[in-house]
Every structure is written in C-alpha cells, then in structure tokens.
Amino acid sequence: MSSTAQVDTGEERTELRRVMGPKLLLLFIVGDILGTGVYALTGKVASEVGGAAWVPFLVAFAIAMITAFSYLELVTKYPQAAGAALYTHKAFGVHFLTFIVAFTVMCSGITSASTASRAFASNLAKGFGLDSENTSLIMVLALAFMAVVALVNLRGVGESVKANIVLTLVELSGLLLVIMVGFFALTAGKTDFSRTMVFESPNDKSAFLAVTAATALAFFAMVGFEDSVNMAEETHDPVRTFPKMMITGIGITGVIYILVALFSVAIVPVGELGKSETPLVTVVETAAPSVPIDTLLPFISMFAVANSALINMLMASRLLYGMARQEVLPPVLGKVHPTRQTPWAAIAFTTALAFGLILYVSGASTSATELLGGTTSLLLLGVFTVVNICVLVLRKDVKDRPHFVAPTALPALGALLCAFFVTPLTGRDSAQYEIAGWLLLIGVVLWAITWFANRALRSKKTYIRHPEDIGEREGGVN
C-alpha cells in the first residue's frame, strides 16, 4: 500500500489532524452559513419585493445548492485546504487569474465583516436603548467594533471546533426563537399570510427585476458553505462525508431562512420591516410585546454577527498574508508580530480597508448594510462563476480514486446563473460595482507594484508558487 494514501476512502496523508466527523462538519457548515445575512437583511429583501420576501431566499438557496455540487466535486477531487484559488490554478494555470480570485475572496471577507459591524452596531444600540436611527452613532459603534475585532485578531485566535459548535448553537437559537414566536403569533391570530403572496417593488419594477435584485441581496445570507472546503484535510473520509453534510447543511439553513422570511412578513408590515436595521428584533417585538424575548434577541444577534465578523477578518488577513509570503503582494504585508506570531501588517491593512468601507457607506443614500451585503454577494458570485467553470475544465484531469461527480448540467447551469447575478441586468445597485471595483483595483495596483519591484530590484518573476498554501497559517502564524 502506498505511504501517501489511506485504504479505500480516498483520504490523502496530511500534516493536519483529521478530527471532524459528519456531525461536526455539519455544524461547521450550518454555522458558517448562518449569521449576518438573515439577521440584518430580511427587511431589505422585503422592501425590494414586498410580502414575497421568501421567494428571493428560495432562489438564492437553489443557486447555492447548485454551486455546492461544484464545490463537492472539486473538494473531493482535490481535498486540500485552499479552495477557489487552487481550483482556478489547476484549471487554467494563469497566475494573475489565481491571484485575482484569491484577492476577490479576501475582499468578500472584508465587505462581509463590514456588513456585520453595521449590524452589530444597530443591535447594540437597540439592546441598550440607544438611538438606533442615529447614523453617526451607528458609524462610530461600527468603527469601534471593527477596532476590537482587529485587536482580538492581533492577539491571536486559535481555531476550535468545539468553540464553533457553541457559536453555531447561539446563532441558531436566535433564528429558532423567531420561528417559535412566528408559530405563537400564528396561533394567536397575529399573522397575515396573505401578504406573503403580494409583490410590491419600488420604482414600479417588474416582478422579475424585483426578484432578481432581491435575490442578489438575499444570496449574502447563503454564502459561507464554500468556506467548509478549507476543512477538507481535517475531515474523516471527505469523499463520503462532504457530499452528505454540505447538502444537508444548505438544506437546513434554506428551510430556516424561508420560514423566517415568511413569518417576518406575515407579522410585520413590509414598510416597517424594510426600514428596520434590526428586522428580526422588530418581528419579535410586534408578535410578542408582553414577553421580554425582544430584550434578549438583540444580544443574540450581536453575538452571531460578531462571530461572523471575526471569522471573515481572520480569513481576509490570512489570505493577504499568504499572498504577501508568496511575493505577489508587497512583502511588508507578510510581516509577523515577533511575540504574538500574528500577521500584524495584513491585519492592519484589512482593518484599514474595513474602516474605509464603513466610512464610505455611512454617507451613502442607500442602506449601508444593503450596500455592503450586496457587494459581498457580487464578489462571491463572481468567484462561484469561475468555480463552476473549473469543474467542467478539470473533467480532463481524471483521478484514479473515487470522488464526487456532479451532473454535468449543474455546473453549466451554475456558471450561467452566477454570471447573470453578477451583471447589472439584475437591477443591482451601481454603488456595489463601484465598491467592488475600487477594492479589486487596489489589488491590481499592489500586484503591479510588487511585479515591478520583483523585476527591477530582485530579478524575480511574480507568480503564486504554491496555490495550495494560500490562506494557510505559515511560519507558526496563528
């Protein structure tokens, strides 16, 4: 038997310890998807389509499930902790394209964390009885929260599966609480489900355009499943485990989101729901005003979005660090703190970008949460388009061991759907393209500076030497 393979499971020997079985992987996937999206954007989705707010979540769920099949084929074919950048490199072998995909994923982490910071600030204000309508106060609280996240990141955060279980259960409890309150309101006659079949769109948009615009936003609530591929080297028998658990995890979260959307609209009028920065708190307050549950939910929401922000900023700083270490970004961004062994330069840079985003959207006419959440969806849908194409291109790379194979129609359909939702045809706010464009331009400029320095000063080529190591904690960084 080869020393690099395990019996008949398709497992490859890895330096990482395989500690995750099916149940832990399922909780990890569910916990990664749950978070800021549904807590912060349910009202914004409703304001786009009216009472049929569940439809965009259903469409987003379908697109996520189709794309998950592509990730499943790739993660079981290449069970390494690198994700989209690795798949892109194996499919096309173009170093600049690999870099752009990796940088886009990094930017999506920053925009997602910035969205979470706004949601955290709104829930904090609500929980402590502050003026949650004061945009300046929310901006200051969001900046302060992001600074705390940076300090925690600098101190060093060890990833723990057990901690993830606790965080997942807390996040899940908040959503189940809303669903329970919804059933209570239903039995008490406080719901109006006729609203859930009514399309109402701003500016007289057609039903199709309203749904696509809302889906582009609702998709933010479904992202996160793609992060689980980074656990491939720590999962027992990933070829068998990943397909069952990823499909189950996406299914669970999809059902929860649709129930939350249905009850939210049936309990709270769309106009009121759309104006709220803490929509689920508004739902609980309306359905059960005499029960003090509403005092607890803002803090559960804060906990959920805080966890989301920290995970995303950890991911973003490690990706930036990994690219700097491979000399496709300025080496200064790969500096590590001598005692904490954390990538302080990458943390400082990603935090500065997050600060800039928070300040920029605070002066925008559109909801800040909607802008940042929509930009996150835009960036990741672009990555998902590439990943779906990678599946088809890499069919020529035949493996001599078993792995999951998606029906050919699904990655083709996934690529078309994800590409469509990247385009302006969906009615997406143009400001989202501006934000995404500026972020990617920063990446291209940094690449160009590094290319020139490598060429002129070091006589080196600029390329990603080891795509499988991007985002991993090299050199003892924790």
Q: 3-state class of 50 per DSSP?
A: strand
Distance (Å, whole) CA 117 – CA 113: 6
- Distance of alpha carbon 89 from alpha carbon 323, whole angstroms: 14
Residue listed under structure tokens 């939210």: 264
Per-residue pLDDT of the chain in tens (478 residues, 90 and over written 9): 333 344 444 555 544 456 677 888 888 788 778 877 777 778 888 888 888 889 999 999 999 999 999 999 998 888 776 688 889 988 998 889 989 999 999 999 999 999 889 888 988 888 888 876 788 898 999 999 999 989 888 876 554 455 566 777 887 888 888 899 899 899 988 899 888 888 887 767 777 888 898 898 889 888 888 877 766 666 777 788 888 899 999 999 999 999 999 999 999 988 888 888 788 888 888 887 776 666 777 888 787 788 778 888 888 888 888 888 887 888 899 888 888 778 899 999 999 999 999 998 886 656 777 888 899 999 999 999 999 999 999 999 888 888 889 999 999 999 999 999 999 988 888 899 999 999 999 999 999 998 888 887 777 776 676 666 665 543 344 4
CB 230 within 8 A of CB 471: yes
Tell me the pTM.
Answer: 0.86
The half-sphere exposure of 82 on its side-chain side, counting CA atoms within 13 A, is: 24
Distance CA(414)–CA(444), nearest Å, equals 27
